Every structure is written in C-alpha cells, then in structure tokens.
C-alpha cells in the first residue's frame, strides 16, 4: 500500500470513528459501532446499531442483520478542500474554484481575493478569485 492510499484509509477510518461517536440516542440508550462486516460501496462506511440509533443523517436505510442489530452504510465526506475548476463561470479573467466543506480558496492561498460562495452541485461551493 502506497503512502497516499494509507493516508486516505486513515482519514476515512478517523472520519468513520467521529461519525460513530456522534450516534443519535433514543430515550432508551442504544449505540452504534463501526462494523467492517457491513459491506458498503465506494466511500461509504458500515455501522451496526442497536435499538433506534442511526449513526448520522448521511446514512442510507438500515438493514436488519442476523444478530438483531441494524446495519447502515454512511457517506464519509472528504476533508475540506478547494481546487481550480475551469467549468465555473467567472468573468473579468478571474479563476474558478470549487470547494468542499467549509474551505475557501483564500484560506490556503493568501494572495487570492475571492467572491462570496455560490452554491454548486453536491453541496459544494463555487468561487471566482483573482490574485491581489
């Protein structure tokens, strides 16, 4: 496993742990746990929950497991990032950026002056930036 793959796996597992710690709790205490036996596609992480708990709103519908727990596949959001996006419609020779999470392009590149965020697809934010 190369270092980039190992780092990505570590980030996914860390985010999965954080999501598991944020399980919702019903009036009767119950719990969710990270469960690698719950098979999920792509960047989804498996959880098993007891009672009425659900790991987060980013989870799909639960599936009853043979042990009586409910299995969920939950989306893991990548860390906040911004990348140049030539498809962003910018004017005045500014450069388009697309960002995930709370990131803004000028946070990581102090020489940028950026527009306010415009909502983009998949809960991403679009910015038009110029250098100062």
Residue 22 predicted with pLDDT over 70: no
Report the chain's mean pLDDT, rounded to a whole number.
75
In whole angstroms, what separates CA 97 from the centre of its chain? 18
For 25-50, how does the pLDDT look when each residue is reduced to its tens digit (9 = 90+)? Answer: 333 344 888 888 998 887 788 889 98
End-to-end CA distance of the chain: 41
**DSSP-assigned letter for residue 117:** P
Nearest 5°: CA angle at 110, between 109 and 112? 75
Helix (H) or strand (E) holding 7: helix 3-21
How many whole angstroms separate alpha carbon 132 and alpha carbon 51?
A: 55
Check if the beta carbon of residue 26 is closer than 8 Å to that of residue 38. no
pTM (predicted TM-score):
0.42
């Amino acid at each position: 496993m190369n270092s980039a793959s190992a780092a990505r796996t570590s980030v996914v597992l860390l985010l999965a742990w954080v999501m598991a710690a944020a399980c919702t709790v019903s009036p009767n205490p119950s719990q969710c746990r990270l469960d690698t036996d719950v098979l999920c596609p792509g960047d989804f992480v498996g959880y098993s929950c007891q009672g009425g708990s659900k790991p987060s709103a980013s989870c799909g519908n639960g599936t009853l497991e043979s042990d009586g727990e409910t299995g969920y596949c939950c989306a893991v959001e990548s860390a906040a990032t911004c990348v140049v996006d030539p498809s962003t419609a910018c004017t005045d020779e500014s450069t388009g950026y697309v960002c995930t999470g709370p990131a803004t392009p000028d946070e990581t590149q102090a020489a940028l002056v950026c527009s306010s965020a415009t909502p983009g697809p998949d809960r991403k934010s679009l910015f038009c930036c110029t250098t100062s």
